[in-house]
Structure 1
């Protein structure tokens, strides 16, 4: 809706509003003095990225002033947030700019996030916040953002036309019922029953973390139920993969994994499925999905634990990189330290300290494999304040020193 502020150019607002509605991205308009005139938000930028966003706005508005007309600029900042900038001109005079974004030009996998954290010297405690925000952003390929940039340039160079709208409904369509009779109904029903039966078996296997059994069930997964004449239709295979992702998400939750961890994995695979271009790639991804969800259950399941211990485990898993102590955790979940210590040991067979150390060592293994940080830095990133103590705990749990583990991988 056009704001009742006469200082805002309606033509520019209509352009920005259309881009915002079509692309589902943040759009901001800057006047000639580099001041933001209005913003249309799709997803607010988290606090840790706001300084970079401000710098990007300053950089693009200055650069666009000296850029020729009919040009868009693609800018990617240190967080790998990408923005499109387009200058607005009137009689060859620069009058303002439109900045669209952020969006991503690469899928935010673990390597991507590790690179960003290293480049910006972020603590591991920021990983969850950053990962969550990345999963909410659109991923645009080169042809997609090129088309979007050209569209914005075209709109900016011409008066915006609010077109009249007409609608039509054809009431004379004759539905040919013969087409539906071509399908063998009994065969379709049989496939549907088989699919639901296998889904139940798959859920039972995944919720127990049984990876190999889940792979074997996947081999029998029926395709072709909703595919018409094209058995290997890419779109229908993607739909099956989306359904499998939902089944696996529910399985992991039934297996005792907190939705806090499942959410990001589910979103990641939803993005990956849509980006795939071949049936073989979808088949390979489905195996990866099963492997990762089973891994979640094996590593993060709190099934069989009381609500209190589940809260404690979730708090540790989300804050392991910070300084943790029994009293701190007990205070956060509002329970006495004595009861927490006794109940945690009873339900997990581990003391609070043992569980924290185990979590930190598991995370450190991932960072060591990336080989982007020194052993001392990794120790600090996962919550150890002492290099020697980290090495001692690491060897106790893995039988290898961190350096031996790096060379052994």
Structure 2
């Protein structure tokens, strides 16, 4: 008895498939007793394994390339390529087919289709439909009936196992599965977007750009709140993907716009910030070479985390997590009426201890820090808007205009009006 020697593993090419791939498919056929045919993208047969087991060879429709039977096979092949995984379908007469696309270097070269086979019990309608679609003589009809009765039937679970086995035969011959995973991810993303669009249509919700989410993302990043910023980012990009119908380039462009706004906003609180967050060549290369929406979200999240770390350093570069959380709370709520007691309750610490820690770490009291943040906001509004002094004071967190003027003069040695006049010139 001769020893079996497996052929060498070489990448499949057209028009000839590799010996390793052919041997793998032949092994599948012999074990499963299922015929397998390889079609190119135009639906032409390039290779067959065990064609004598194929019912289709008794059909006139199958032998012609422009019939509904062949078009159905091409449709199955195209869908398997989009899925990046096995596609199980039912043919016109009610039999099962398993399609597995051959994808090499990102390009579908064709498709392996196993079957047709019987799932469950053979129905009388299968034969009657086959006879209706094909004009056959009585003797040929008897052959078809005998062929059908001799075909092995499979349970649904068995067909799933066969699909996986055929898929693994193809994958093993290629050497890399990244192309299949990429296409599968893209298909799932498109399916998710389509479902979301349907939900919006059912709810009659307007499809508008989520500026409120973008502003919230910027605010949380300014506060150094990485966890909160990433959570908002994920929801924001998800909404953008729906607006852009899953167009990866369009989503990437939108994120770059958000990043530019974020960078500009953060640079207003630190003159050197823009230089530290500007995207370099490696960053752009990473962003431009994402393959799917999931990867884009991951890369975008890494950029936002970096910005949050920089923002945290600007807010506070000490080692006290308690003070950092306190400052983040102040930066997020300074336009409201807040006191040290509020933060102490939020962080579950003693107010006296927190007050002492503020002076020790920041060399200023809580009230002084709160006033500094509010004055910085007022300076921004004075230069970037035409708001009245009353509105500037209110939007900066000061309830009283005279008190606002007093605090502002203490920090800037001039009144808010004089500050606007001086710097606008």
Same fold (TM over 0.5): no
Give TM-score scaled by structure 2 length: 0.36
TM-score of the superposition, structure 1-length normalised?
A: 0.37
| Bigger radius of gyration among the two | 2
